[in-house]
Amino acid sequence: MIITLIGARPQFVKAAVVSKAFIEKGIPETIVHSGQHYDERMSQIFWEELGIPQPRYNLNIGSGSHAVQTAGMMTGLESIINNLNETPKAVLLYGDTNTTVAGSLVASKLHIPVIHIEAGLRSFNRTMPEEINRVVTDHLSDLLFCPSESAVRQLATEGIVSNVHNVGDVMYDSFLTFSTLAKKINPVISGIDIGAAFTLLTLHRPSNTDSKEQLSKILTSLGALPTRIIWPVHPRNRGHIRELTLPPNVTITEPFSYFQMLLVLEKCHSVITDSGGLQKEAYWAKKPCITLREETEWTETLEGGWNQLAPPADSNLLNAYKTHPGLPWKPLYGDGKASDKIAGIIAGRYYR
């Protein structure tokens, strides 16, 4: 069997299409949920919407420091693997979360092959915990699936050249599949008007939200923009926001389900975010995006000005908002069939 370890919203979205491809290829999979996202709207509703096979195990880790989370995941996953009736063929991991690095450390120490989806991405900012997680995981992985040729080249500069595959981005598979489905379902979004022009905002990185001063600066910048802003607030940030004054053009709401997010993305005229995944989804939806960071691991989205980096400061954000894409849109990150390619390679490697 393949053990898939997931624990955060973007990983649920990616697992939905890859697990479906596994079923079609006859690859046995055991899903372990780390519990990193433990809020129901951040977790369980995704299973219900996306049709992901229910996890066989849930580590129920919840919140905590990076060390507490990672240690709890490692202990829990090691116990599960040691008590299985058979040794897994591999442990499959997505992205760059604490869940990801915990899985890579446990599997490698138990001499179980590690499969990493979204390998080769780099922001080159070691102050970001995600950068540490992705670098460590890549260097412990036995099979690496990259979303772009630049990711393949980056791995080569680090000496990783064996079993590296450019398959495209599985999140593009999910975007194509579920955007169509979201339009058919047309999920209800209560309490906000998505018929009039607005900008979609998401904000969750600790560097932007854990400091009251930094968050206040971002809100001031947002208040200077000539646009209505809709902000689905991550549960961990609710307390911070209560201590600050929202600009009149910013409306906060509960977190969206994935289908709701896709519908809101289709209706908005632009996106402001510090997320990794939403940068790509905005690009695929052909919406101009401003990323509230000094760097991005998705460098291809910057070409032509479809995505702009704007470290949170009044002038940066306002100037970026006034700038429009300068080049035509072009496809990025594969052809929407990454999950099928991944399942085919895994089937050929482990289930001949």
Indicate whether 126 pLDDT > 60: yes
- For residue 13, tell me if it sits in a domain: yes
pLDDT at 342: 98
pLDDT at 44: 66
pLDDT at 222: 94
Indicate whether 41 pLDDT > 60: no
Supply the pTM of this predicted model. 0.92
Beta bridge partners of 4: 31, 92
Instruction: Please report which confidence band the pLDDT of residue 51 belongs to, taking 50, 70 and 90 as the band edges.
Output: confident
- For residue 328, tell me if it sits in a domain: no
Q: Which tokens go with 147?
A: 């979303």
Same domain, 28 and 65: yes
> Cα 154–155–157 angle (5° rounding)?
65
- For residue 297, tell me if it sits in a domain: yes
Mean pLDDT of the 173-189 span:
91
Instruction: Please report which confidence band the pLDDT of residue 39 belongs to, taking 50, 70 and 90 as the band edges.
Output: low
Mean pLDDT of the 333-346 span:
98
pLDDT at 42: 53
pLDDT at 64: 84
pLDDT in tens, 207-233: 888 888 889 999 999 999 999 999 999
Mean pLDDT of the 317-344 span:
95
Report phi then psi at 143, rounded to 5. Answer: -140, 120
Same domain, 72 and 204: no
Q: Which residue has the higher pLDDT, 136 or 183?
A: 136
> Which amino acid appears at position 244 of this protein?
L
Same domain, 23 and 158: yes
pLDDT at 234: 80
- For residue 174, tell me if it sits in a domain: no
Q: Do 7 and 99 form a contact (C-beta atoms < 8 A)?
A: yes
Same domain, 247 and 99: no
Helices 338-350, 170-185: crossing angle, 10 deg rounding: 130
Same domain, 96 and 187: no
Q: Which residues are catalytic?
A: 204
Taking the C-alpha atoms of residue 270 and residue 285, their distance in angstroms, rounded to an integer, is: 10
Residue with tokens 């590296």: 164
Same domain, 285 and 308: yes
Same domain, 212 and 99: no
Indicate whether 150 pLDDT > 80: yes
- For residue 42, tell me if it sits in a domain: yes
Q: Do 229 and 198 form a contact (C-beta atoms < 8 A)?
A: yes
pLDDT at 47: 73
Indicate whether 112 pLDDT > 60: yes
Same domain, 65 and 194: no
Q: Do 244 and 224 form a contact (C-beta atoms < 8 A)?
A: no
pLDDT at 63: 79
pLDDT in tens, 292-320: 999 999 999 999 999 999 987 667 899 99
Beta strand 29-33 with 57-58 is parallel
Same domain, 14 and 119: yes
Taking the C-alpha atoms of residue 221 and residue 213, their distance in angstroms, rounded to an integer, is: 12
- For residue 327, tell me if it sits in a domain: no
Instruction: Please report which confidence band the pLDDT of residue 329 belongs to, taking 50, 70 and 90 as the band edges.
Output: very high
Same domain, 344 and 267: no
- For residue 211, tell me if it sits in a domain: yes
Mean pLDDT of the 102-108 span:
98
pLDDT in tens, 234-272: 877 777 788 888 999 999 999 898 999 999 999 999 999
Query: CATH code at 112?
Result: 3.40.50.2000
> For residue 91, what are the domain limits?
2-169+335-350
Q: Please provide the average confidence, as pLDDT, over all residues in the chain.
A: 92
Same domain, 36 and 155: yes
- For residue 58, tell me if it sits in a domain: yes
pLDDT at 114: 98
Q: How many domains does the chain have?
A: 2
Same domain, 89 and 56: yes
Taking the C-alpha atoms of residue 64 and residue 72, their distance in angstroms, rounded to an integer, is: 10
